[in-house]
Amino acid sequence: MKKVLIVDDSETIRLEVARALGKAGFATVQACDGIDALDRIAESDFSLVILDVNMPRLGGLDLLDRLQENPKTATLPVIMLTTEAQRSMIERARKGGAKGWLIKPVTMEHLVIAVTKLAA
Amino acid sequence: MKPASSLIETIVQSATVELFRTYGVAVAPIPRAMARLNPNPPDGWCGLITFNGQGMNGALTLFVPTAILGLTKAGMSQPLQARDWIRELTNQLMGRIKTRLLQLEVTLQIGLPAALDRRLIDRRQKSSGSTHVFQFRTIRDEVTVTMEGTLDESCLKYSGSANPGSEGDVIIF
């Protein structure tokens, strides 16, 4: 079963995404910020990471940079899920290796389609 | 309370109406002339988020009565984490406002949202002369958005060049 890491400082968002992905047949793990996410990634293999941008301790774009710098995680598919719509941020994520950028609020149906398409 | 400029008022009102519509709740802006801070607000939740950009810096608050907050997540199978959800709603509201301001050549840096006691917000705003209040009628009670700080409308220039994304967009690279 493919496993997805959901990284968002909102528990409500994490639970909603986890529920939708669970129904679609994915296993999920949750992390509340970028540091928590790095700990989870060190513990386990994931098929894809869903990543918020604005989070405490370590934000999503900075985490994306760290994942890219590490050969073990450089090819891990990442989708950003955020309220940010600024083109420069979207471009930064694209250049940083992200596979997609979803602007909140997205329907869970669209999220599941994107995850299904992009998960390794 | 300061009367809001018409452009900022339009941005905040449209962002708030659309946000709540997304979550199945109809809210209608109360005309400025009729808006008054409720001296006895109902039980509810308050989120706060800071913003900083050219000519605009301060804090936005979103107050949502408990019953209305519950309606925004009416279909949830698990109990609503109200404190968490008001933070996220405040974050999403600020995101919408930020996106609209991008089209007017203003780029805001936004902070992390916080959930605060309504009384702290009220005390803060009563002592401040620079708070813009936007009220919205719902089927019961009112939703209140405030923006405190500097809102310099002279910085707003429509260019159409920013081309930001839109809420709900799914961009696959």
Query: For B72-82, what is each residue's pLDDT tens digit?
Result: 988 776 777 99
Give chain B's radius of gyration (CA, Å): 16
Distance CA A116, CA A114 (A): 5
Mean of per-residue pLDDT scores for chain A:
97
Percent residues over pLDDT 90 in chain B: 57
In DSSP notation, B30-68 reads: PPGGG----SSPPSEEEEEEEEEETTEEEEEEEEEEHHH
The confidence score (pLDDT) of residue A106 equals: 95
pTM, two decimals, is 0.93
The confidence score (pLDDT) of residue B79 equals: 75
For B50, the token pair is 């800071």
Nearest alpha-carbon partner for B97 in B87, B85, B83, B107: B107
Per-residue pLDDT band for B5 (boundaries 50, 70, 90) equals low
Query: For B106-153, what is each residue's pLDDT tens digit?
Result: 999 999 999 987 777 676 666 656 788 899 999 888 999 999 888 888
Query: Can you tell me the ipTM of this complex?
Result: 0.94
Distance CA B80, CA A93 (A): 32
The partner residue sitting opposite A100, judged by closest CB among B102, B164, B173, is B173
Q: A100 or B160: which carries more pLDDT confidence?
A: A100
Read off the amino acid at residue A83: T
Residues in chain A within 8 Å Cβ distance of B166: 85, 103
Q: Quote the minimal CA–CA distance from B36 to chain A in Å.
A: 30
The partner residue sitting opposite B164, judged by closest CB among A11, A87, A117, is A87
In DSSP notation, A42-78 reads: HHS--SEEEE-SS-SSS-HHHHHHHHHHSTTTTTS-E
Residues in chain A within 8 Å Cβ distance of B98: 83-86
